[in-house]
Each structure stands twice: as structure tokens, then as C-alpha cells.
Structure 1
Amino acid sequence: MKLTKYTHACVRLEKEGKVLVIDPGTFSEAEEALSGAHAVLVTHEHNDHIDRPAVTAALRSNTALEVHAPAGVAAALKENGDVSDRVHTVEPNSAFDAAGFSIRTFGGQHAVIHAQIPVVANIGYLVDDNVFHPGDSFVVPDGINVQTLLVPIHAPWSKVGEVVDFVISVRAPKAFPVHDGLLNELGRGIVEGHVTRIGARYGTAYVRLAPMESVEV
């Protein structure tokens, strides 16, 4: 399976002629990521994880496209009645097929940013028992050996110690960054240095991917 990282939280997975996109948000190259896609997974409603106009336009121009998202996101997309039959509500602790990719869901709640900021629904997705995208949370999939972990390297809701603890708790053999759009190179170097060094002690090889860079997983 080919994994391509886009800016910030978006990734594109390709296998056997099928394309799955996770979190095509406004910080990412959403239109490019969605080109030719067969399925989209959305972790939560924040704009850096879903560019609603881009996703709606993709649904209208590509009748093969299906979108899977938490209830609030799905309801907003379904307001566009002409595409509502291809928008599906996702619940935590479920399993389904998306364009030939097997999907399992975990979590259910966005990490707390501040007590006065409402918490929204957040779904973590495990694709083909291999790639895990947690969205904006550090939920650890239970009973699963994740092979490829997408790590939210930096966010308003996290600190470096929590990022490191997430990596060593999941203990995936491979890890790559997501949610890095707010970091400059100095900050990235500090966070990634800790993740690389400490993660390696627990069997995780962390590798930086630049936007538009691809890797086989």
C-alpha cells in the first residue's frame, strides 16, 4: 500500500487501483488529495481536517466517491441533498469496508483543548490492520498490533511528553508525522528528536515525511 503525506493532517492511501483519503482539510492540498479518490475518512469536524467545500465538490464531480465521518460532519455534508446517499455516519468501535480497504474505528472524543472549548466527536481509523490515523487524540487501539502509526506531532491540545507516550504506547514498527502544519523547523526538530530517540527504545522507527512524499507501508 502506498501512503502519501499531504500538508498537516491529510494522507492518501493507494492499493490495487483504489484510493482512500483521510482528513483532507483546509491546511492541506485537499483538491489534489481527493482527485480520483474512491473513499474519504474524516476524523472530526475541525477545518484543518475537512475542507467541506472541497469534499462536497469532489462528491459532485466523482460519483464513485463515498465519505465516512462522525455524525456532525456527516449531517453537515448531507445538507447537500444531491450527494447525501454517499455520505455515511461512523460510530466508534465499528468495522466496515471503504473502497476495498478494511476499516476499524476507535476512540470517539477529541482531545481536550481547554475547559471552555467544547469537545467534539473524533474517530481514529485503522486501515487494513496496518495504518492508524488517530485524528486529534492519543487513543491507543486496544487488542491491535498497529504496523504503521501516524503521529500528531504538534497541536494546541498536546505537549511533547504526550506525543512520546503515545508512540511508545502503540509501539508500531513504523511511524510517520501528521498534524505538523503549525511547526517551524526549529520546533519540529525538538519534537521529532525526542520521538525518534525514545521511540526507538520501544521498537518504533520514526521517519519524517515531507508534504507530497510517499512511502510503501
Structure 2
Amino acid sequence: MKLTKYTHACVRLEKDGNVLVIDPGTFSESEEALAGARAVLVTHEHNDHIDRPAVLAALRSNSALEVHAPAGVAGALREESDVADRIHAVEPGVDFDVAGFHVRTFGGQHALIHAQIPVVANIGYLVDGNVFHPGDSFVVPDGIDVKTLLVPIHAPWSKVGEVLDFVISVRAPKAFPVHDGLLNELGRGVVEAHVTRIGARYGTSYARLAPREAVEV
């Protein structure tokens, strides 16, 4: 499976001619990531994880595209689209197949930012028993071994210690960054040095991916 990292939280997965995109948000190169996709998985409603105009345009232009998202996101997209049958609400704890990929869902809610900021639904996605994208949460998939972990390395809702505990808890052999669009090079260097060093103690090899950089996983 080919994994391409886009700016911030978006990744594109390609396998056997099929394309699945996770979290094409407004901080990412969404239109580019969505080109030729047959499936989109959205973790939650925040704009840095879903560029609604770009997703709606892709649905209009690509009759093979399906979108899976938490109920609130799916409902909002259906109201603005005439292809409601290709927009699906998902909950945590389910399995489904889409566009040649197998998907399992985890979690349920966004990490707490502040008591005065409402908590929204958040779904983490495990694709083909391999790549896990947690969205804006540190939910640890239960009962499975993650092979490739996408790590939210910086967010308004987290601190470095929580990032490290997440990496330690999942213990995936490979880890790559997501949710890094707000970091400058100084901040990135501090966080990644800790993740690289401490992750290695628990069997996790962490590597940075630049926007549009791709790896086989």
C-alpha cells in the first residue's frame, strides 16, 4: 500500500488501482489528494480535517466516490449534495469494506480542548489492519496490532507527554506524523526528537514525511 502525506492531517492510500483519502481538510492540498479517489474517510467536523467545498465538488465530479464520516458530518454533507446515497454515517466499533479497502472504526469523541469548547464526535480509522489514523484523539485500538501509526504530533488539545504515551501504548513498528500544520521547524524538531528517541525504546520507528512525500507501508 502506498501512503502519501499531505499538509497537516490528510493522507492518501493507494492499492491495486484504488484510492482512499483520510481527512482532506482546508490546511491540506485537498483537491490534489482527492483526485481519482473512490473513498473518503472523515474523522470529525473541524475544517482542518474536512474541506467541505472540495469534498462536495469531488462527489459531483466523481460518481465512484463514497464518503464515510460521523453522523453530524454526513448529515451536513447530505443537505448540500444531491448524491446522499454515497454519503454514509459511521460509528465506532464497526467494520466495513469500501473501494477495495477494509476499514475498522474506533473511538467516539474528540479530545478535550477546554471545558467551554464543545466536544464533537471523532472516529479513528484502521485501514486494512495496517494504517491507523486517530483523528483528533489518542484512542488506542483494542484487540489488534497496528502496523503503521499516524501520530498527531501537535494540537491545541495535546501536550508532548500525551503524544509519547500514545506512541508507547500503540507500539506500532512504523509511525509517521499527522496534525503538524501549525508547527515551525523549531517546534517540530523538539517534538520529533522525543518521539523518535522514546518510541524506539518500545519498538516504534518514527520518520518524518514532507507534504506530498510517499512511502510503502
Q: Under a length normalisation based on structure 1, what TM-score does the superposition of the two structures give?
A: 0.99
> What is the aligned length?
217
Which residue in the other structure is 2:198 paired with? 198
CA shift for structure 1 position 6: 0.1
> How far apart are the structure 1 equivalents of 2:164 and 2:84?
40
CA shift for structure 1 position 98: 1.2
Equivalent runs, 1:127-138 vs 2, <5 Å: 127-138=127-138
Give the ranges of 4+ consecutive aligned residues of structure 1 lying more than 3 Å apart after TM superposition.
none
> How far apart are the structure 1 equivalents of 2:75 and 2:157?
26
> How far apart are the structure 2 equivalents of 1:78 and 1:42?
14
Which residue in the other structure is 1:92 paired with? 92
> How far apart are the structure 2 equivalents of 1:83 and 1:69?
15
SS at match of 2:4: strand
Q: Is the 8 A contact 2:56 2:81 kept in 1?
A: no
Equivalent runs, 1:177-216 vs 2, <5 Å: 177-216=177-216
Which residue in the other structure is 1:30 paired with? 30
Matched to 1:4, the amino acid is T
Which residue in the other structure is 2:163 paired with? 163
Which residue in the other structure is 1:52 paired with? 52
- Cα displacement string for residues 105-157 of structure 1 (whole angstroms, at most 9, x for unaligned residues): 00000000000000000000000000000000000000110000000000000
> How far apart are the structure 2 equivalents of 1:31 and 1:200?
35
Unaligned runs of 5+ in 1: none
Equivalent runs, 1:67-78 vs 2, <5 Å: 67-78=67-78
SS at match of 2:210: coil
SS at match of 1:79: helix
> How far apart are the structure 1 equivalents of 2:134 and 2:56?
23
> How far apart are the structure 1 equivalents of 2:72 and 2:27?
20
> How far apart are the structure 1 equivalents of 2:18 and 2:69?
19
Q: Under a length normalisation based on structure 2, what TM-score does the superposition of the two structures give?
A: 0.99
Matched, 1:108 2:98: no
SS at match of 1:19: strand
RMSD (Å) for aligned C-alpha atoms: 0.4
Unaligned runs of 5+ in 2: none
- Cα displacement string for residues 134-188 of structure 1 (whole angstroms, at most 9, x for unaligned residues): 0000000001100000000000000000000000100000000000000000000
Matched to 2:82, the amino acid is D
> How far apart are the structure 2 equivalents of 1:195 and 1:118?
29
Give me the identity figure in percent.
86
> How far apart are the structure 1 equivalents of 2:154 and 2:90?
26
SS at match of 1:122: strand
> How far apart are the structure 2 equivalents of 1:118 and 1:81?
26
CA shift for structure 1 position 81: 4.1
CA shift for structure 1 position 80: 2.6
Q: Is the 8 A contact 2:109 2:119 kept in 1?
A: yes
> How far apart are the structure 2 equivalents of 1:176 and 1:182?
16
CA shift for structure 1 position 83: 1.5
